[in-house]
Amino acid sequence: MEHIYFFYGDQKKISWIIENSQSRSEESRTHAEYFYDIVTPEQSKYIALHVGIFWGIGRFIIKNRDVVNIMLDQKSMFDRLAENKLTDDVFIERRIKFIDQIIKQRDLDVRFQLVDPSKNMATKLLLS
């Protein structure tokens, strides 16, 4: 199955939306106390990416060998994830290791797409 995955994060919360031809799932969460008001907005987005994919697998929305179109609204994330440009941020590099591990374990076909921030539907979940 093919999914579209939007995600967002700020210093207090994370959110994600997983859409496919059969369903649409929306979630938002407050950061764990360990991260609350400590992480940067970009670090928070990596947390949202990691947690949301893991959640989608746990809820049997995303299954082994599925296609996941990950919508990125930040050029630096696109550069890191789609073009493998390294970052100096150790926190982000650790999140990427976890994300890559999930992708490999589930044999997911992940495709990264850069979108305008105004098109990121997961942003609206934190603003409401």
> In the structure encoding, which two tokens stand for residue 92, read together?
């982000």
pLDDT of the residue at 62:
98
Q: Is the pLDDT of residue 128 over 70?
A: no
Coil, strand, or helix at residue 27?
strand
Give the domain range for residue 41. 2-127
- What average pLDDT score do residues 75-92 get? 96
The CATH number of the domain holding residue 8 is 3.30.420.10
pLDDT of the residue at 41:
96
Q: What are 44-80's pLDDT values in tens digits?
A: 999 999 999 999 999 999 999 999 999 999 999 999 9
51/57 Cα distance (integer angstroms):
10
Q: What are 2-13's pLDDT values in tens digits?
A: 999 999 999 999
- What is the band of 126 on the pLDDT scale with cuts at 50, 70, 90? confident
Chain position carrying tokens 């495709």:
111
Nearest Cα neighbor of 101 from 62, 32, 54 is: 54
Q: How far is CA 112 from CA 31, 34, 38, 66, 73, in A?
A: 24, 29, 27, 14, 10
- What average pLDDT score do residues 87-99 get? 96
* Alpha helix (H) residue ranges in 38-74: 41-58
Residue type, 72: L
pLDDT of the residue at 15:
98
The number of domains in the chain is 1
